[in-house]
Amino acid sequence: MTSFSPAETTSALDNLSTLALAQALADRLAIAPSDWHRLKANRSAQAGQQISAALVFLLKDCPQEALPHLRQASGWLDKSISAPPCPTHGNHLPHS
């Protein structure tokens, strides 16, 4: 991995729009399907994913789309919500 000086990093970031930075953060904080089981109960990871998504919607001037993500993040942080069951382990009908 290449290291950049603080000045080089600042210069590179200055060339990106705020929306591009927010989208890059949302991409970085998104929980990949392969990490879902490992991070499903990680409240910081879940809240970060939701907050970064809300920020992208806010910067796209879609506040109504941002609100549900902010509510989800708040729920993760105040422990009022928990991870849903794994979609691949849900209610399966027995094979006939």
Quote the CA–CA distance of 9 and 70 in Å, as a whole number. 29
Sorted by where each begins, the domain ranges of the chain are 14-81
Residue 72 pLDDT more than 90?
yes
C-alpha pair distances (Å), 53 with each of 5, 11, 63, 84, 90? 29, 25, 11, 19, 26
C-alpha pair distances (Å), 39 with each of 15, 59, 86? 33, 27, 12
- Please tell me the predicted confidence (pLDDT) of residue 91: 53
Quote the CA–CA distance of 67 and 30 in Å, as a whole number. 18
Residue range 1-58, pLDDT digits in tens: 667 777 776 777 778 899 999 999 999 999 999 998 899 999 999 999 999 999 999 9
Query: Which position has the token pair 């927010």?
Result: 22
- Please tell me the predicted confidence (pLDDT) of residue 96: 46
As a whole number, mean pLDDT of residues 50-79 equals 98
pTM of the model: 0.77
* pLDDT interval class at 90 (50, 70, 90): low
